[in-house]
Each structure stands twice: as C-alpha cells, then as structure tokens.
C-alpha cells in the first residue's frame, strides 16, 4: 500500500471499530471486538511507520485529489449542535457560547469566502514526529482499551449504583484514537481543528461517564477550557487566512515567525496550552481523575494532552528566539514548579500521578517555547518515555484501586507484600518516570544544559525552576516508593487479593512494562534514528549528536533502572519470609504492627507520610501558579500583538 492510503486506513480503522462497537451490547462479543480491533490498530500503526521508513517527511491530499469542499463545515456544524444539545440538557451556558462562537467563525470564513482553497496535495503531512505520535497512540492506546475490559468489569462490580454504559465507553475510546491519528497527520489547519474538537468532545464524554453531578461538573469544566482553546485556534485560523500559505502548518512553522504571523502563533500556542492542561487550565485534568482509570490512562499518555504538546512542538521552530516563545516556555516551566509543589501535599495517588503528568508536560512546553533543536529533542524524548511509563502507572493504580478499594497513598502500605507482582509493574513504571536514566532524568539533564546558554535573567530563572522542581519530584516519588516497599506480614485473605486481577490487566500492563524496559534499552537507537533526525529537520540545523552514551553512564544507569524491579522480584520469591520484629524502644513489637503501650495494653502502629504541612500549602500553590501562569499567558498574547 502507498503511504497515503495506509495513513487513511490508519485513521479510518479505529473509527470503524468504534462504530461497530456501538452496535453490540453483548459483553463477550464486545470484548472480542475490542481485542481484535485493538490488535489491528496496533498492527496498522506499525505498518504505517514501516511504510514511512526513514524519510524526512511527505505531503499528500485526499484520495483521487478529492477536495475537502464543505465537508469541514458540515462536521463542525454537527459537533457544535452536539455541544449545544448536551449543554441545554444539563443547563450549562458557557460551553454552547464557546462552541457557537467557534462555529460562527467557521461559517463567516466559509460564507465570506475568506478561506483560501488549500493545496489539495498538502492537506496531510507526516514526518518523524507524526510517526512517534502514531506509535505512541497506536501501541499504547489499544493496550489501554484492552485493559479496560478487565477494569470496567471490576469497576461496575464494586460500584453497582453506577449505570453501566460500556457500549458507549469502548466505542468512544476507539473514536478518540481515530481523532488523534487524524490530528497528528494533518497539515491544513482547519482540518486539524476538526480533529482537535473531536478529541475535546470525546474526553468530555469519557470524563462524564458515570453521570453523577460531580463528574458532569468536571466534564463541563474540561469542555469549557478546551473549547476556549479551540476558539483561540479558530481565531488563529482567521488571522492566518489572509496570509499566503498561512494555513499550511509545514510552511507556517518552517522557521522563526515574525510580524503578522506572531499573534496567530500565540493563539495556536494558547490552544496547545489549554489542551496540555498547563496552568491556568490545569484543573480540568485534575477533575478528570474522577473518571474510570483507563480514561485517565488514555488522556494522560497517548491522547488529549499529548495533542497539546504535539502542536506546541510543531510550533517550536516558529516560536524560536521570540518573546512569545520565551513566555510560552515560562508558562510550562512555572506550571512544572507549581504542580510539583502541589503534588508533595497530595494524598490521592491518582492526583499525584496527574500533577506529575502536568509537570512533565510543562517541561515539554518549556522546551518547545525556547525552540532549539536540543530542546525539541528533549521534548520528544519526554513524550515517548512519559507516555509509556504514565499509561502503565495509571493502569496499575486502577488495578490496585479495584482490589484494595483505595486511591489514598497512605493505604498502599506494604503493597510489595500484598501484591508483589502488581508492585513489580508499579516499580517499573516509577523507574521509567523518574529513576530511569534515559527517560526523564536524561531529558532534565539535557534541558538544564540547554538552559545554561539562555542569556540574561531568563536563563537563571529557568535553571532555578529546574533545580527546585526536580527536587520536589524526588520527594513525592520517594514517599510513594516508601509506602510500596515497606513490609508487613499478610493474612491468607490478603495473599489471595492478587489472584483476582484479570488476565486482560496482566497482559496489557505486562506489555507496557516490557515497553518501558525496551525503550530504555533502545534509547540510543530512538535518539539517533528518530528523534535526533526529527529535531535536525524541523530546525534545518547542522548535524550533531544529541545523546552520546558514555559506557560508564550506560552501566550505572541501566543498573538503576533494573534495581527496583529486581528488589520486587526478590520479595516475590520470598513471599512467606518471616520478618523479624522491629525496634520499638524496648517494648515488644510484633509484625502485626501492634506494640505494647506505655500503660499496658496494645496500640496499633500507623505510619503516615509527610505532606509538608505548614511549609507548603497545596491549595495556595495551585492558586498562585494559576494566577502567575495566567498573567504570563496574557502577557504572551499581548506581546505577540505589540511586537509586530
């Protein structure tokens, strides 16, 4: 198959699977379709990348040189009508206003004939970044869908009052993947906007899955914020429609933007910032934590927020060296700092993971804003490692939550003795997120090196943010690790908990864990063959080596990645190890975690992590970050207008 046809097939396949899924309500049949459909999507993603090979990039149009014509406006109308209808049903005002405003823009452009006819051969653009995204979406997404079979079964068993709508749920997961594929291969901006809005609506529906007042509130928050971003995208299209080639993403971003293009770039960056849940728009992703865990896994790893940073990385060469770019970078870096401060005060494990996602995305935004080949390299490396590790972590925490009935970090006490195999997967995910060498730690290292050459106070500020932000991540991951690794003798009941994990979960989480290890082992290959060439092409830069792996670093760091999983396996091989009593000031303590009290009797020992009470206030940090980033964001948009 030729490249264009295989790309179309890739976008269409999950959409078709989604459509088929919406027709079947019978569980066994649905599960089979999810598994087969998921595997087909993964195979198609691999086939697409294989067909693309090592090219720099390719442009193409619709089959048979078909024109887009009025198709986009019809789809836009459908999406707007849907938002208006569902908002009326739930009596919400803001969402329909935002959706109608955006539709009005589209209609105006269409009716006034201001939308220049696009080059039919340049509607789509695939390059190495698209291929990275296709692999991230196409390999991780289906695993999450398959995992959801086991998770949702346990979820509905433990929450019987929630009305099951799994037909819609699974259908939406696949439609989401289709929209993401469409988004990462689009070159014509109005086309990309349509896919952008489909992802917004899919995430809205997934967040509101349980239809309780609480989740409906969070779903509308996500919808409002992302529609606002979409509106920014729409206004950017209006501004660009009068420029020659302005709506062609590849032409728009082939070098530093100036003059009239800057405000449009700023608005597109604004859209990217809303979608990647940067402050002041972080609250929608935190609210999304109340949705079933596979939804979180999907939103955090391979879809939605990754669309935001994908767009920002695309814009990176255009923002390079401009004030707009620096301000975008500061939105990301300040977000990283403030959410890390919030994360150290948070007990809900899913929320800690969410803040960590927002922080990692903040680093990517920071890299994209400054716009150098090195930092674009860092951004893409973080996308890859974060997607693998975070999807694994969310799926594992979902598995734990459905078996231990808790999301609280404090209740994960002695997880290693309770669920040793699940813990091993958990530890691989955490290693991939922050201990692992070639993932985020190498990226942070390279980022600090690159910020060293940013001149003036901006450079110093960026380095200060990195130093404090990185240290905070050690603190919250460290706390979580202490809880997981601590030991306690288990009862027979506790020993049986792990047997209730479904095979769908074992297989998918195991596959993702292998993926983390494989990506770590192949980091040189990923850097030299894919991410490095992408950064050089995007910035038309002279060849250079981004990651020189010294054998000493390789040895130290590979051992670091394998250390915690090794420790987990060790504990798993010794499940009935008879733990000695710990020291308790000479009083008898025993492994059931009770100790003799001073005046006789026994007391239960409870150990609670530090949350820096009295030193760091999570709420205050969240509000401060929101205000600070909001101000920087406003300055960014204002600067784009003033500087022209």
Answer yes or no: are the C-beta atoms of 388 and 432 closer than 8 Å.
yes
Q: Interface with another protein includes 554 (CB under 8 A)?
A: no
108 binds another protein (CB under 8 A): no
Assess 545 for contact with another protein (CB under 8 A): no
Contacts with another protein: how many residues (CB under 8 A)? 64
Q: How far is the CB of 442 from another protein (least distance, A)?
A: 8
Nearer to another protein, 312 or 450 (CB): 450
Cis peptide before 473 (omega within 30 of 0): no
| Nearest to another protein of 163, 576 (CB atom) | 576
Tell which one of 471, 496, 529, 588 touches another protein (CB under 8 A): 471
Nearer to another protein, 593 or 623 (CB): 593
Q: Does 571 bind another protein (CB under 8 A)?
A: yes
Kindly identify the residues of this chain, within the stretch 40-99, that bind another protein according to CB under 8 A. Answer: none
* Other beta carbons less than 10 A from residue 555's beta carbon: 10
Decide if residue 601 touches another protein (CB under 8 A). no
Residue 552 or residue 599: which is nearer to another protein going by CB?
552
Nearest residue (CB) to another protein, 217 versus 478: 478
Mark 336-375 with x for binding to another protein (rule: CB under 8 A) and - for no binding: --------x-------------------------------
Stretch that binds another protein, among 348-356, 361-369, 486-494, 523-531 (CB under 8 A): 486-494
Q: Is 486 in the site for another protein (CB under 8 A)?
A: yes
Cα dihedral 35→37→40→46 (10° resolution): -90
Of 1, 2, 491, 577, which one interacts with another protein (CB under 8 A)? 577
Helix (H, G, I), strand (E, B) or coil at 85: helix
479 lies in the binding site for another protein (CB under 8 A)? yes
State the maximum Cα–Cα separation within the chain, in Å, rounded to a whole number: 87
The candidate with the shortest Cα–Cα distance to 378, out of 441, 443, 319, is: 443
Q: Which 431-460 residues touch another protein, going by CB under 8 A?
A: 435, 441, 444-445, 448-449, 452, 455-457, 459-460
Structure tokens at 16: 């078709």
Indicate the burial class of 453 (C-beta count within 10 angstroms; 0-12, 13-18, 19 or more).
exposed
Span near another protein by CB under 8 A; candidates 184-192, 327-335, 382-390, 607-615: 607-615
Tokens of 405: 């009935």
How many CA atoms are closer than 13 Å to the CA of 33, on its beta-carbon side?
23
Considering the complex, what minimum distance in angstroms separates the CB of residue 577 from another protein?
A: 5
Bridge partners, 248 (sequence order) = 188
Spatial CA neighbour of 140 closest among 348, 395, 379, 421:
395
Sequence-distant (6+) residues with CB within 8 A of 128 are 56, 57, 530, 531, 533, 534, 537
382, containing H or E segment: helix 373-404
Decide if 443 contacts 546 (C-beta within 8 A): no
Check binding of 524 to another protein (CB under 8 A): no
How many alpha carbons lie under 13 Å from residue 55 in its C-beta half-sphere? 15
> Which region, judged by CB under 8 A, interacts with another protein, from 130-138, 155-163, 311-319, 612-620?
612-620
Give the number of other Cβ atoms within 10 Å of residue 100's Cβ.
Answer: 15
Candidates 20, 84, 584, 594; binder of another protein (CB under 8 A) is 584
Is 325 or 565 the residue whose CB approaches another protein more closely? 565
Structure tokens at 494: 């506790």
> CA-CA distance, 70 to 276, in Å (whole number)?
30
Only segment of 86-94, 246-254, 485-493, 619-627 that touches another protein (CB under 8 A) = 485-493
- Rounded to whole angstroms, the Cα distance separating 501 from 498 reads 6
Q: How do 57-60 and 594-596 pair as beta strands?
A: unpaired
Cα(first)–Cα(last) distance of the chain, in Å? 46
SS3 for 12?
A: helix
* CB nearer to another protein: pick between 6 and 487: 487
User: Is position 26 an interface residue for another protein (rule: CB under 8 A)?
Assistant: no
Residue 597 near another protein by CB under 8 A: no
**φ, ψ for residue 401, nearest 5 deg:** -60, -40
Of 279 and 430, the one with the shorter C-beta distance to another protein is 430
User: Two tokens at 86?
Assistant: 């569902």
Q: Can you tell me which of 165, 421, 593, 623 binds another protein, judged by CB under 8 A? A: 593
Binding flag, residue 499, another protein (CB under 8 A): no
H or E segment and range at residue 595? strand 594-596
- Cα separation, 417 vs 552, in Å, equals 34
The residue from 607, 620, 631, 641 that contacts another protein (CB under 8 A) is 607
If binding is defined by CB under 8 A, does position 482 make contact with another protein? yes
What binding mask, one character per residue, do residues 394-413 give for another protein by CB under 8 A, x or -? Answer: -------------------x
Question: Can you give the C-alpha Rg of the chain in angstroms?
Answer: 24
Nearer to another protein, 584 or 637 (CB): 584
Region from 11-19, 195-203, 393-401, 552-560 binding another protein, contact rule CB under 8 A: 552-560
Q: Which residues bind another protein (CB under 8 A)?
A: 344, 413-414, 416, 435, 441, 444-445, 448-449, 452, 455-457, 459-460, 463-464, 466-468, 470-472, 474-475, 478-479, 481-483, 485-488, 550, 552-553, 556, 560, 563, 566-567, 570-571, 574, 577, 579-585, 589, 593, 595, 605, 607, 609-610, 612, 614-615
């Amino acid at each position: 198959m030729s490249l264009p046809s295989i790309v179309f097939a890739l976008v269409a396949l999950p959409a078709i699977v989604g459509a088929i899924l919406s027709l079947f309500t019978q569980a066994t049949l649905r599960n089979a379709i999810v598994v087969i459909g998921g595997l087909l999507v993964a195979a198609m993603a691999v086939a697409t990348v294989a067909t693309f090979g090592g090219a720099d990039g390719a442009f193409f149009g619709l089959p048979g040189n078909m024109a887009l014509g009025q198709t986009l406006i019809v789809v836009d109308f459908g999406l707007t009508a849907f938002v208006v209808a569902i908002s009326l049903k739930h009596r919400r005002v803001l969402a329909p206003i935002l959706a109608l405003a955006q539709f009005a823009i589209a209609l105006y452009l269409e009716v006034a004939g201001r939308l220049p006819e696009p080059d039919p051969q340049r509607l789509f653009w695939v390059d190495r970044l698209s291929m990275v995204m296709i692999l991230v979406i196409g390999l991780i997404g289906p695993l999450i869908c398959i995992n959801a079979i086991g998770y949702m079964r346990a979820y509905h068993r433990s929450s019987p009052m929630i009305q099951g709508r799994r037909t819609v749920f699974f259908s939406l997961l696949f439609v989401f993947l289709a929209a993401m594929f469409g988004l990462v291969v689009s070159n014509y901006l109005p086309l990309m906007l349509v896919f952008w809005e489909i992802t917004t609506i899919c995430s809205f529906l997934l967040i509101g899955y349980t239809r309780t007042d609480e989740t409906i509130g969070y779903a509308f928050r996500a919808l409002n914020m992302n529609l606002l971003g979409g509106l920014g995208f729409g206004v950017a299209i209006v501004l660009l429609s009068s420029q020659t080639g302005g709506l062609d993403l590849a032409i728009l971003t082939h070098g530093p933007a100036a003059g009239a293009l800057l405000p449009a770039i700023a608005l597109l960056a604004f859209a990217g910032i809303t979608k990647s849940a940067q402050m002041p728009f972080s609250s929608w992703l935190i609210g999304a934590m109340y949705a079933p865990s596979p939804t979180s896994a999907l939103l955090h790893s391979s879809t939605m927020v990754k669309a935001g940073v994908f767009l920002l990385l695309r814009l990176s060469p255009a923002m390079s060296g401009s004030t707009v770019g620096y301000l975008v970078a500061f939105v990301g870096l300040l977000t990283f700092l403030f959410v890390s401060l919030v994360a150290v005060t948070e007990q809900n494990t899913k929320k800690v993971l969410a803040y960590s996602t927002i922080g990692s995305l903040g680093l990517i935004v920071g890299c994209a804003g400054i716009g150098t080949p090195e930092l674009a390299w860092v951004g893409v490396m973080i996308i890859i490692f974060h997607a693998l590790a975070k999807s694994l972590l969310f799926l594992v925490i979902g598995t734990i939550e459905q078996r231990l009935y808790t999301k609280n970090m404090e209740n994960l006490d002695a997880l290693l003795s309770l669920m040793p195999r699940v813990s091993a997967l958990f530890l691989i995910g955490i290693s991939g997120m922050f201990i692992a060498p070639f993932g985020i730690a190498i990226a942070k290292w390279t980022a600090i090196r690159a910020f060293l050459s940013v001149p003036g106070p901006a450079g110093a500020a960026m380095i200060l943010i990195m130093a404090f932000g990185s240290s905070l991540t050690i603190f919250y991951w460290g706390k979580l690790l202490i809880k997981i690794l601590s030991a306690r003798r288990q009862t027979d009941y506790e020993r049986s908990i792990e047997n209730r994990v479904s095979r769908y979960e074992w297989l998918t989480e195991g596959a993702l864990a292998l993926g983390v290890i494989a990506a770590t082992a192949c980091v040189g290959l990923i850097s030299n063959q894919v991410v490095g060439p992408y950064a050089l092409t995007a910035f038309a830069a002279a060849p250079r080596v981004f990651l020189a792996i010294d054998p000493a670093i390789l040895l130290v760091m590979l051992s670091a990645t394998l250390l915690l999983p090794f420790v987990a396996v060790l504990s798993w091989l010794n499940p009935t190890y008879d733990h000695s009593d710990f020291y308790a000031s000479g009083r008898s303590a025993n492994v059931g975690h009770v100790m003799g009290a001073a005046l006789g009797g026994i007391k239960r020992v409870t150990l609670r992590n530090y949350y820096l009470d009295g030193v760091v206030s999570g709420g205050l940090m969240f509000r401060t970050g929101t205000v600070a980033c909001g101000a920087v964001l406003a300055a960014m948009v204002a600067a784009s207008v003033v500087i022209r």
